[in-house]
Amino acid sequence: MRAQRALGKTGDLRCDYQYRTSSQFTQTFSFLVCMKTGFFSLLFVALLSCKKENTVSDMNQKDSAKIISENRKDSTTIPVQHKEEIFNFVTELCENKGHFDSGKYTREELEGTYKLWFQMGGIALSTPSVYNFNGLQKVRNEKEAILAKLDQDFASQKRVLENLKLVKDPYWEDIRKQHLQELAEEYEFRKTEIKAFSDPSVLVNHKLSKGCENFVKALNSNEVQMTEEWRKLREEMSKRNSDPQRILNEFEEHLYSSDKKDFATIDLITFGWGNCANDHIKRVEHDEKMNKKFESLFIKIDSECDEP
């Protein structure tokens, strides 16, 4: 019995040891489980926090981008205000005040366009007219000086046209081009005419003589042919004159003059070839379209006009 009891005590001790060992293991395991759970919980919270911060950051970036975009949009939709200014100009009977948008045109551009529209019309070059014997002698004697001045005037007028500041519109650039072409043709015509009074042969095969060959032929032919064409010209002139008999009487008077050839030269160049060639020069047409194009440059025009 003692042995069994002792044995029983030993067994109880073993069991108690096993129980205590098992309990310690369980506590350790539970601790580890708790630690693991805590670790993962902290990790989850950290990840959740990062995600939240990233989400907030993305939202902030999107909001910032939206604000910038809206600001840009607002800045582009705000109309730019330009100052309304006054440009003064005159026409035949009126003094005008044109109200213009300084954001579209400068005062210098309007000034140049006005000159092209209103002041560049008509004949830009001039040379002495030859209607009588004294005029013919003057042109022959002063030919070189007349031609030199013509060269200077042409160069000056050409430079003015080229340097005009115009409003940015292809229409006005085309008008400038037409004026330059007209100026070049006018220059060539006047230079050739002055030379022809001394030497009619310059008219032969000249580009300006196209359609005017009958006058060129008469000026470079014998006396009979010259007189015949001269008579025809005077007869045509008399039909268009308010005093036709005067035109015919002048012809008869000059026909029997010792300076008959010079008188014939005056008429055949001035009233014959001159009028014929001048009609072939392409002139810039100042029409209603050009007037409206100029007026359209202004917001409004206030005019004070005299009675015609």
Tens digit of each residue's pLDDT (9 = 90 or more) over 96-106: 999 999 999 99
The pLDDT value recorded for residue 122 is 72
Q: Is the pLDDT of residue 56 over 90?
A: no
Residue (of 293, 302, 294) closest to 96 by Cα position: 302
Q: Could you tell me what percent of the chain has a pLDDT over 70?
A: 73
- Cα(98)–Cα(302) distance, integer angstroms: 6
Q: Is the pLDDT of residue 6 over 80?
A: no
CA angle 231, 236, 241 (to 5 degrees): 120
- Cα(119)–Cα(114) distance, integer angstroms: 7
The pLDDT value recorded for residue 78 is 52
Residue 50 pLDDT grade (very low, low, confident, very high; cuts 50, 70, 90): very low
Q: Helices marked H in 142-297 — which ranges?
A: 143-163, 170-198, 213-219, 223-239, 244-255, 260-266, 275-278, 288-295
Average pLDDT over residues 154-170: 96
Find where tokens 């096993």 sit: 18
Residue 22 pLDDT grade (very low, low, confident, very high; cuts 50, 70, 90): very low
Q: Could you tell me what percent of the chain has a pLDDT over 90?
A: 69
- Cα(305)–Cα(308) distance, integer angstroms: 9
In eight-state DSSP terms, residue 211 is T
| The two three-digit tokens of residue 80, written as one number | 């730019």
Average pLDDT over residues 58-85: 55
Length reported for the chain: 308
Q: Is the pLDDT of residue 135 over 70?
A: yes
Strand order in the sheet with 94-101: 84-90, 94-101, 300-305
The pLDDT value recorded for residue 181 is 96
The pLDDT value recorded for residue 209 is 97
Average pLDDT over residues 68-93: 70
Q: Is the pLDDT of residue 111 over 60?
A: yes
CB 289 within 8 A of CB 255: no
- Cα(262)–Cα(252) distance, integer angstroms: 14
The pLDDT value recorded for residue 81 is 62
Share the mean pLDDT of the chain: 82
Residue (of 116, 120, 91, 124) closest to 167 by Cα position: 116
Summarize pLDDT for 261-296 with one digit per residue, the tens.
Answer: 999 999 999 999 999 999 999 999 999 999 999 999
**109-123, 139-153, 199-213, 235-249: segment of lowest average pLDDT:** 109-123
φ, ψ dihedrals at 282, nearest 5°: -80, 110
Summarize pLDDT for 218-248 with one digit per residue, the tens.
Answer: 999 999 999 999 999 999 999 999 999 999 9
The structure's pTM equals: 0.72
Residue 298 pLDDT grade (very low, low, confident, very high; cuts 50, 70, 90): very high
